[in-house]
Amino acid sequence: MTTNEIETGEKLDRLNANLAKVEALSLKLAEVMARHKPLRNELNAPEPEVFVNAATAYWQGMMENPGKILENQLDLWSKSVKSFVDAQNLILKGQFAAPQDDTPTDRRFSHHFWQDHPYFNMLKQQYMRNAEAIKIAVSELEGLSAKDKQRIDYFSRQIIDMMSPTNFLGTNPEALERAVETEGQSLVDGLENLIADLDANNGELLVKLADESAFEIGGNIATAPGKVVYRNRLFELLQFSPTTDTVYEVPLVIFPPWINKYYILDLKEQNSLIRWAVAQGYTVFVVSWVNPDRSLADVGLDDYIEEGFLEAIAQIKEISGQPQINAVGYCIAGTTLHLTLSLMKKRGDDSLKSATFFTTLTDFGEQGEFTPFLQNDFIDGIDEEVAEEGILRSFIMQRTFSFLRSNDLIYTPAIKSYMMGEAPPAFDLLYWNGDGSGLPGKMAHQYLRDLCQSNKFVGEGLQMCGETLKISDVDIPTCSVTCETDHIARWKDCYRGYQQTKSRSKTFIVSQSGHIAGIVNPPSKKKYGHYTNTKLSLSADEWMEQATFHEGSWWPRWDAWLSKKSGKHIDARMPGTASHPALGDAPGDYVRKKALK
């Protein structure tokens, strides 16, 4: 027996052994799935009437204008047949090659087999032509409401993305090639990854995006030195240690969103907004919200305002001895900071000297990519969920956000983990993304019904904390920072709401990039620029057309704005006081609490 025959035999033995392991793991997979408690149908798809209406509209269109639909179908058929015939002709000529391919470039199909191999190339071409046919059919639907059409468009795109041949082992050449190269070990590793992810989420499939073992909160992320100087049931107040001999007398408090953890602003030293602000001479406080359990089911937006925002402000005034402070609100916390400012105006409370908003929506008249999830059928499902669970569980929100970018956040990671058998990367941003927080049931209901659906804050007013809160009550100096490609809080929507405040001193900035990268954009990186324009009466499009582009981060521009509202320099403050002794080191305890499954 030759050496090659021996090696081939050994490889075959290893392949058979690994395939046997796959069979054993399949049984374990079945056990895990048996424990799965599926989500209610309302959270998975719209009410059937939406699809019935779409089918009726398509059928009606075919009856009224059959030529148009047949024309689209014949175009698809002819291109499909031509691709097949071209491939056959090449094979008959003895050429094992793909036919001419005029489909657009798509990074999902970057492996050379998709371009070179006639079988896989034909699969790719047919998939992309089918996808285009579906998009055209949906775009030409008539007789539907704008929202129903947007929902059909969204769910049809989900089907298109899901049915990509890259998502199936038998039609993914890269995964098949890896299986052969590793004698099946990649399939074993992938199945183990799949089982681990399902087991970690009670049978619900959430692809792990980052290597959790690579990060330790307070160890190599969230490491800015400081102390916990106050705690109540909703938050811990962190005061960070100064790195300058003097500081501005007016302190700064940052309210992060309670959908995620605060340490997006302190991932590592090089991109920590918290460390940078401390280095500019600000006394920085950050609210670290609790990850709610079912005992907080009845906590509402009014509690977040009274026990969260107003309580933090009061505590910082006591600690600093200052009558006024500057505040920042990020995302949903920026929305709630607007509500707080309206309430403070009603009560004659001038404790805030200025307010800065990061990617903050206040006018929900246009719901953008969230339109499919902000209709009654879906929110009825949320209401039933929180009535049963007490909270809106984190993985439901995480899943929703992921499907907005399904190829990047679901299918591509799933292919790498489950088909290729790769371990998730040690990526701090993705680790943070997976370290989510739930929402108290009452708060989730109020936010979705009163703000997102009814848009009361910019309309008739929101009844809360014994007052009618309106955006027109906000009149202190403000700065709003938005992000050009943000799909969560679109900058044009942020701008529309910001225009409705009555502040006489308003600064509006659009940073390049998206919801996170546009905010976490340190000057040292010299990566993303930003736009400014002082003419805030213009439409959003006019504002951008006339805006001035600036190279580099917006952080120094904000520093120049904020420093003018921060008073004189005084000796640096160490965290805590005699009346507010340190309760522990930053980042505290609340940030380490994991979300309920």
177 and 230 part of one domain: no
144 and 259 part of one domain: no
Between the alpha carbon of residue 332 and those of residues 89, 213, 393, 448, 524, the distances in Å are: 59, 29, 17, 12, 28
Q: Quote the CA–CA distance of 586 and 272 in Å, as a whole number.
A: 14
Q: Quote the CA–CA distance of 395 and 201 in Å, as a whole number.
A: 8
Neighbours of 426 (CB within 10 A): 14
Residue 568 resides in a domain: yes
Q: If we measure between CA atoms, which residue out of 270, 584, 264, 301 comes closest to residue 441? A: 301
> Concatenated DSSP letters for 269-327?
GGG-HHHHHHHTT--EEEEEE----GGGTT--HHHIIIIIIIHHHHHHHHHH--S-EEE
Residue 511 resides in a domain: yes
Q: Mean pLDDT for each consecutive 10-residue tract of the chain (597 residues)?
A: 57 73 77 74 63 49 47 52 61 67 89 89 88 85 81 85 90 90 89 88 84 95 98 98 98 96 95 98 98 96 98 98 98 98 98 98 90 86 93 88 86 92 92 93 96 95 97 97 95 97 96 96 93 97 98 98 98 95 97 87
Q: Per DSSP, what are the bridge partners of residue 483?
A: 511
Catalytic positions are 331
Residue 210 resides in a domain: no
Q: Quote the CA–CA distance of 32 and 22 in Å, as a whole number.
A: 15
Residue 404 resides in a domain: no
168 and 233 part of one domain: no
Residue 28 resides in a domain: no
| 365 close to 408: Cβ distance less than 8 angstroms | no
174 and 250 part of one domain: no
Residue 295 resides in a domain: yes
148 and 288 part of one domain: no
- Looking at residue 7, its pLDDT comes to 59
173 and 231 part of one domain: no
| 427 close to 210: Cβ distance less than 8 angstroms | yes
| 322 close to 349: Cβ distance less than 8 angstroms | no
76 and 162 part of one domain: yes
Segments forming the whole domain that contains residue 579: 226-373+438-592
369 and 450 part of one domain: yes
Q: Are strands 530-532 and 235-240 parallel, antiparallel or unpaired?
A: unpaired
305 and 164 part of one domain: no
Look up the CATH number of the domain holding residue 488: 3.40.50.1820
Residue 545 resides in a domain: yes
- Looking at residue 63, its pLDDT comes to 43
- Looking at residue 337, its pLDDT comes to 98
95 and 231 part of one domain: no
Q: Could you tell me the strand order of the sheet in which 352-358 lies?
A: 548-550, 530-532, 506-511, 478-483, 352-358, 325-330, 252-255, 284-289, 235-240, 226-231, 584-585
Q: State which of 181, 208, 243 marks the end of a domain.
A: 181
Angle, helices 146-162 vs 118-139, to 10°: value is 170
244 and 168 part of one domain: no
Neighbours of 100 (CB within 10 A): 11
126 and 269 part of one domain: no
| 356 close to 326: Cβ distance less than 8 angstroms | yes
Neighbours of 294 (CB within 10 A): 12
Q: State which of 148, 164, 181 marks the end of a domain.
A: 181
Considering its fold, how many domains does the chain have in total? Answer: 2
| 421 close to 178: Cβ distance less than 8 angstroms | yes
Residue 385 resides in a domain: no
